[in-house]
């Protein structure tokens, strides 16, 4: 059923104008499309929230045609350049005057319909570009991308700065709080009416299957009507069995409190399950199929596993070769011999494709073209393929229902699953779309119900302040940073919680008034003393656990008791393996700057979720349920050290070695008991700290006060009952205090404290004066938008003259550190010639970091962690004229990552060239170096034109 809800009451209906429609479509429009067009013809704006492939682009096409009919300009924005390129090609086939602006490509920028990235539109709004006065409609595609942590803020800035008097069209995947979003837009643009047009309609219904490890087939768990099939789910779980092909967990040194297995090593064992599922899909004619994985390496490994299978006939093979060779014809001959290119063609000829961000852009595009043409039957992709690109398949396969998100291995959210599974089912071709999830462990039925039918993710604001934003707002008349903060979606969502908080406050006050406690002062003193004693003992431990005291006593074999500081998880007694500073120059007083590797007993680690570690007491140990793992902990996790040491076996990581260590720990507990294992005293450790005696005296005095308390020395039943009441009241009072704090903070703009701190930084670095008037440096920082909030660092580089005497090639190499996202691999080192430039850059970074910290900002607001020198040498060689094939052998980075970095670098160099020639700097010498830098890097495969242009 095509269920459409328009959430504006009363829904505005209007007879069609006598004018002919600005565009007609060769198909019958769905109800939500007609509803959207009615709203647009009324002069209102729309938020269209619908599933992938439901037909949202039809609404965009109509909005473009209507604006052009009215002799107005229209802007279409998208979150990614690839989608902008595709839409430029699509719109150019339907309209005469279409242009493209994506930072690295500008085509017919004076056109009536302009396709651009949201960042470009943001820059135009801050500059007050004259052309914006002629805009009648702005279309935001994939507006749910606003939840992106790093770039989502760009959407908020842009929507807030949009000109009044034009129509807005927001296209989004399904979002449950669409009405909240529309109310926010109406709030910041009072003359605008936004119709929320939402449909759950899927042109092609989906069937959801499970493919358990070791099973011979797939199990239908949700049919096309959305009914969960419990019987089939139970059969699937039974078929997993206890002998499923799951790899054993790694042991050895790892991340803090984690096992040593890395995210890249996780997942299913081998590629056999992939071969089996693909064969099943092909045998049942359920292709084309998209196989989603959550690692680039897994995509490639799975694709290569099918290298002996052929899904294309002779004619299709020849056609693939023709399309591929035509696409590569624009490349230089040596670039056509790149391994990445030569290795992909044989796969494509067999109907197998790969798509992920590490591929060369031209290869991604040729894969997309072949997939759309039906010449790629099996596509292995990461989740980036689910963003915007109109490329449905008949079947979607998930290699796992879990993903590693940079912090933990977790189940997919309902929104993530919906976005990717929505690729299944081709309108007009398939009766149903098929979604198959591969699982290698038992899954709770509620988890799968939440995935398949739990609904989309709520759209939450990702607003945060950037220096570029703050300086641009200080530069523009009649607005300031407070203007942006008060109008942000974050502030709107915050205030929307106020009525609920007021109700909570009233309830808490009523509950507190009902509790009458006798002897309240006695009980309050008892609680206060206990709280202070616990606090002072922790401070004593903090002194003792300083590395300068612990280092002399931590040797391999020393018994160590671990209580993890972050969550108080008790790992009990373990055996020290080694320790190390996290980085050179770590402070000898900072317990979090050193790690100790300790062999501890834990319950067996689930290989599909190796970050989920559960301690196991030695008395509960069995070889079936537990094992010995060497984990990395901070020094702050050490509760105490024993005077005793164990003799470690020669191979402590072997099965026999681990068993011997477990026996040693068991014997230790049998002989002494958990609490009587001999511990190193403060005196034995030689701790000398002026604070220590003071803290110990405070503990002693507090304990004496406690001894004089009635509840401590005479705990009658009545007094204990009163104490329970007191604790209830104190808990409620604490909640009330928190609610009052939140209500007070709601009256301030979001991030108001952070803004004050950032303004302090800007004053100290001479970007603004005491009156918040922007100075010379600010005019430069406002123009730099290509880095991840490194505009201050780049501006400092220019003004401190670091680049003045540097050769152009070295300048380019140094600047690559600010647009590179490829982290340094283990054992990475740079040739000596790069050390001095990098040192000068890091000195500026340290100076900015110091000012930020002194101004009250955390390290997150600095560039410290964003200097990535891993591609410095590669960039330098490229600028010196090296061939791309020579670069690939010098780095572990994917080719696509190198290209993306170089293209961002070219955009940065253009901005820096403009800055250098501006009155604020006035250096034509620097300007010429930056222009020369562009000429040096802008060549060959790195800047190959898009196939869509």
d(Cα 725, Cα 745) in Å, to the nearest integer?
31
Report the relative pairing of strands 135-140 and 73-78 from DSSP bridges: parallel
Residue 576 near residue 558 (C-beta atoms within 8 A): yes
The string of DSSP letters for 679-712 reads B--HHHHT---HHHHHHHHHHHHHHHHHHTSHHH
Residue 213 near residue 244 (C-beta atoms within 8 A): yes
**885 shares a domain with 856:** yes
Cis peptide bond N-terminal to 213, omega within 30: no
- Among residues 199, 222, 237, which one ends one of the domains? 199
**642 shares a domain with 697:** no
d(Cα 57, Cα 359) in Å, to the nearest integer?
27
Residue 88 near residue 101 (C-beta atoms within 8 A): no
Residue 560 near residue 575 (C-beta atoms within 8 A): yes
The SS3 of residue 6 is strand
d(Cα 592, Cα 260) in Å, to the nearest integer?
19
Average per-residue pLDDT in the chain?
Answer: 85
Residue 730 located in a structural domain = no
**pLDDT, tens only, 839-856:** 999 999 989 988 988 898
Alpha-carbon distance values, 135 to 50, 56, 112, 125 (Å): 26, 21, 9, 12
The SS3 of residue 114 is strand
Closest-CA residue to 56 (of 206, 224, 175, 164): 175
Least confident range of 102-111, 312-321, 384-393, 501-510: 384-393
Measured distance between the N- and C-terminal CA atoms of the chain, rounded to whole angstroms: 39
Alpha-carbon distance values, 168 to 64, 127, 143, 196, 442 (Å): 11, 20, 12, 12, 46
d(Cα 427, Cα 429) in Å, to the nearest integer?
5
Q: What is the DSSP letter of 355?
A: E
Residue 47 near residue 195 (C-beta atoms within 8 A): yes
Residue 907 near residue 785 (C-beta atoms within 8 A): no
**660 shares a domain with 609:** yes
Q: For the chain, what percentages of helix, strand and coil (3-state, to nearest 5) are there?
A: 50, 15, 40
Bridge partners, 198 (sequence order): 5, 49
**639 shares a domain with 564:** yes
CA atoms within 13 A of residue 228's CA, in its CB half-sphere: 13
Residue 858 located in a structural domain = yes
**pLDDT, tens only, 745-804:** 776 667 888 999 999 999 999 999 999 999 999 999 988 887 666 889 999 999 999 999
| pLDDT tops 60 at residue 584 | no
**pLDDT, tens only, 318-338:** 999 999 999 999 999 999 999
Residue 497 located in a structural domain = no
d(Cα 299, Cα 774) in Å, to the nearest integer?
49
pLDDT given at position 244:
36
689-705 as b/e: b if 16+ CB within 10 A: beeeeebeebbeebeee
Query: What is the CATH classification number for the domain harbouring 673?
Result: 2.40.30.300
pTM of the model: 0.74
The SS3 of residue 314 is helix
| pLDDT tops 80 at residue 264 | no
**pLDDT, tens only, 897-920:** 999 999 999 999 999 999 999 998
Q: Which residues contact 267 (CB under 8 A, 6 or more apart)?
A: 293, 295, 298, 399, 400, 608
d(Cα 369, Cα 82) in Å, to the nearest integer?
13
The residue with tokens 């790969």 is 354
Six token digits for residue 585: 């120059």
The string of DSSP letters for 154-210 reads HHHHHHHHPPTTSEEEEEES--TTHHHHHHHHHHHSTT--EEEEEE---SS-EEEEE
Q: How many residues does the chain have?
A: 949
Closest-CA residue to 352 (of 309, 400, 382): 309
**332 shares a domain with 280:** yes
Residue 876 near residue 813 (C-beta atoms within 8 A): yes
Question: At 572, which helix (H) or strand (E)?
Answer: strand 570-581
Six token digits for residue 381: 């992709």
Query: What is the CATH classification number for the domain harbouring 32?
Result: 3.40.50.300
Residue 82 located in a structural domain = yes
pLDDT given at position 254:
32
Report residue 2's pLDDT band, with 50, 70 and 90 as the boundaries.
very low
Bridge partners, 256 (sequence order): 632
**183 shares a domain with 148:** yes
| pLDDT tops 80 at residue 36 | yes
Cα 159 versus chain centre, distance = 22
- Among residues 649, 679, 709, which one ends one of the domains? 679
The string of DSSP letters for 732-774 reads HHHHHHHHHHHHHHHTSPTTHHHHHHHHHHHHHTTSB-TT--B
Alpha-carbon distance values, 626 to 38, 602, 612 (Å): 64, 6, 14
| pLDDT tops 80 at residue 613 | no
**705 shares a domain with 657:** no
Residue 117 located in a structural domain = yes
Q: Which phi-psi region, left, alpha or beta, contains residue 604 (left: φ > 0; alpha: ψ -120 to 50)? A: beta
d(Cα 210, Cα 225) in Å, to the nearest integer?
17
**447-448-451 Cα angle (round to 5):** 90
**933 shares a domain with 874:** yes
pLDDT given at position 387:
64
pLDDT given at position 243:
38
**156 shares a domain with 81:** yes
Residue 917 located in a structural domain = yes
Least confident range of 88-92, 355-359, 864-868: 864-868
d(Cα 693, Cα 540) in Å, to the nearest integer?
9
Least confident range of 135-144, 697-706, 862-871, 922-931: 862-871
The SS3 of residue 393 is strand
**807 shares a domain with 931:** yes
Residue 463 located in a structural domain = no
Q: Which domain holds residue 939?
A: 754-943
Query: What is the CATH classification number for the domain harbouring 788?
Result: 1.10.3380.30
Residue 421 near residue 401 (C-beta atoms within 8 A): no
Residue 645 near residue 599 (C-beta atoms within 8 A): no
Phi, psi (deg, nearest 5) at residue 552? -70, -15
Residue 195 located in a structural domain = yes
**Between helices 31-41 and 56-69, what is the axis angle to 10°?**
20
d(Cα 676, Cα 665) in Å, to the nearest integer?
14
**145 shares a domain with 69:** yes
Looking at per-residue confidence, does 896 or 476 come out higher? 896
Least confident range of 219-233, 317-331, 441-455, 609-623: 609-623
Closest-CA residue to 803 (of 840, 773, 751): 840
Percent of the chain with pLDDT over 70: 91
Residue 73 near residue 67 (C-beta atoms within 8 A): yes
Report residue 548's pLDDT band, with 50, 70 and 90 as the boundaries.
confident
Report the number of distinct structural domains present in the chain: 5
**697 shares a domain with 675:** no
Bridge partners, 137 (sequence order): 74, 167
């Amino acid at each position: 059923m095509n269920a459409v809800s328009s959430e504006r009451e009363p829904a505005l209906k209007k007879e069609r104008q006598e004018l002919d429609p600005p565009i007609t479509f060769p198909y019958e429009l769905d109800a939500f499309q007609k509803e959207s067009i009615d709203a647009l013809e009324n002069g209102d704006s729309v938020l269209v929230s619908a599933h992938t492939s439901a037909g949202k682009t039809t609404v965009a096409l109509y909005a473009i045609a209507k604006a052009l009919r009215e002799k107005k300009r229209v802007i279409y924005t998208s979150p990614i350049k690839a989608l902008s390129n595709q839409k430029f090609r699509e719109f150019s086939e339907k309209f005469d005057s279409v242009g493209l602006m994506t930072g690295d490509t500008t085509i017919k920028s004076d056109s009536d319909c302009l396709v651009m990235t949201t960042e470009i539109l943001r820059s135009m709004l801050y500059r007050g570009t004259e052309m914006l006065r002629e805009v009648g409609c702005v279309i935001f595609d994939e507006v749910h991308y606003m939840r992106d942590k790093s770039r989502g803020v760009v959407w908020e800035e842009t929507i807030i700065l949009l000109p009044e008097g034009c129509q807005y069209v927001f296209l989004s995947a399904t979002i449950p709080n669409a009405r909240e979003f529309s109310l926010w837009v109406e709030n910041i643009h009072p003359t605008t009416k936004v119709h929320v047009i939402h449909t759950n309609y899927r042109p092609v219904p989906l069937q959801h299957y499970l493919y358990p490890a070791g099973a011979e087939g797939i199990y239908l768990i949700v049919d096309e009507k959305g009914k969960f099939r419990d019987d089939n789910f139970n059969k699937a779980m039974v078929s997993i069995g206890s002998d499923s092909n799951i790899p054993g967990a790694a042991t050895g040194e790892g991340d803090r409190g984690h096992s040593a297995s890395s995210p890249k090593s996780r997942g299913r064992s081998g590629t056999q399950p992939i071969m089996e599922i693909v064969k099943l899909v092909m045998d049942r004619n359920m292709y084309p199929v998209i196989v989603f994985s959550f690692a680039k390496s897994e995509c490639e490994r799975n694709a290569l596993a099918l290298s002996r299978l052929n899904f294309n006939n002779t004619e299709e093979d020849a056609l693939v070769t023709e399309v591929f060779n035509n696409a590569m014809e624009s490349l230089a001959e040596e670039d056509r011999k790149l391994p990445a290119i030569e290795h992909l063609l044989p796969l494509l000829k067999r109907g197998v494709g790969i798509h992920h961000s590490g591929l060369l852009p031209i290869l991604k595009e040729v894969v997309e073209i072949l997939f759309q043409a039906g010449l790629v039957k099996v596509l292995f992709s990461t989740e980036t393929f689910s963003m915007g690109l109109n490329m449905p398949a008949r079947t979607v396969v998930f290699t796992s229902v879990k993903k590693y998100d940079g912090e933990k291995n977790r189940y997919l959210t309902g929104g993530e699953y919906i976005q990717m599974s929505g690729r299944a089912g081709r309108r007009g071709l398939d009766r149903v779309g098929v979604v198959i999830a591969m699982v290698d462990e038992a899954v709770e039925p509620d988890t799968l119900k939440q995935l398949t039918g739990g609904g989309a993710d709520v759209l939450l604001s990702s607003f945060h302040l950037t220096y570029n934003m703050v300086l641009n707002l200080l530069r523009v008349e009649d607005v300031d940073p407070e203007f942006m903060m008060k109008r942000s979606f974050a502030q709107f969502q915050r205030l929307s919680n106020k009525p609920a908080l007021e109700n909570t406050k009233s309830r808490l006050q009523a509950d507190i008034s009902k509790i009458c406690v006798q002897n309240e002062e006695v009980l309050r003193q008892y609680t206060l003393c206990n709280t202070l004693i616990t606090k002072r003992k922790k401070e004593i431990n903090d002194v003792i656990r300083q590395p300068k005291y612990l280092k002399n006593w931590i040797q391999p074999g020393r018994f160590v008791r671990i209580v993890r500081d972050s969550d108080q998880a008790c790992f009990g007694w373990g055996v020290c393996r080694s320790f190390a500073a996290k980085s050179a120059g770590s402070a000898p007083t900072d317990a979090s700057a050193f790690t100790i590797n300790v062999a501890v007993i834990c319950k067996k680690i689930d290989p599909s979720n190796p970050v989920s570690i559960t301690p196991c007491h030695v008395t509960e140990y069995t070889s079936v349920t537990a094992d010995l793992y060497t984990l990395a902990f901070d020094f702050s996790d050490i509760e105490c050290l024993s005077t005793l040491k164990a003799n470690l076996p020669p191979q402590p990581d072997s099965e026999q070695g681990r068993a011997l260590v477990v026996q040693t720990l068991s014997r230790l507990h049998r002989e002494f008991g958990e609490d009587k294992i001999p511990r190193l005293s403060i005196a034995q450790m030689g701790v000398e700290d002026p604070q220590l005696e003071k803290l110990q005296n405070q503990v002693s005095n507090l304990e004496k006060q406690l001894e004089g308390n009635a509840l401590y020395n005479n705990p009658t039943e009545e007094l204990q009952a009163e104490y329970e009441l007191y604790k209830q009241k104190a808990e409620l009072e604490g909640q009330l205090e928190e609610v009052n704090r939140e209500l007070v903070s709601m009256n301030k703009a979001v991030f108001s404290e952070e803004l004050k701190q950032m303004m302090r930084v800007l004053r100290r670095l001479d970007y603004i004066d005491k009156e918040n008037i922007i100075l010379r440096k600010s005019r430069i920082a406002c123009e730099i938008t290509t880095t991840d909030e490194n505009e201050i660092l780049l501006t400092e580089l220019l003004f401190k003259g670091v680049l003045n005497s540097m050769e152009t090639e070295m300048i380019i190499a140094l600047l690559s550190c600010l647009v590179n996202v490829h982290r340094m691999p283990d054992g990475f080192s740079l040739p000596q010639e790069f050390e001095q430039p990098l040192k000068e850059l890091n000195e500026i970074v340290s100076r900015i970091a110091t000012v930020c910290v002194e101004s009250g900002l955390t390290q997150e607001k600095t560039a410290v962690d964003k200097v990535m020198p891993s591609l410095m040498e590669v960039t330098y060689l490229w600028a010196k004229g090296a061939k791309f094939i020579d670069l690939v052998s010098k780095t572990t980075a994917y080719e696509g990552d190198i290209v993306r970095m170089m293209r961002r670098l070219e955009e940065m160099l253009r901005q820096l060239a403009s800055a250098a020639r501006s009155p604020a700097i006035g250096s034509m010498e620097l300007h010429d170096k930056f222009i020369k830098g562009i000429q040096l890097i802008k060549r060959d495969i790195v800047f190959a034109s898009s196939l869509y242009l």
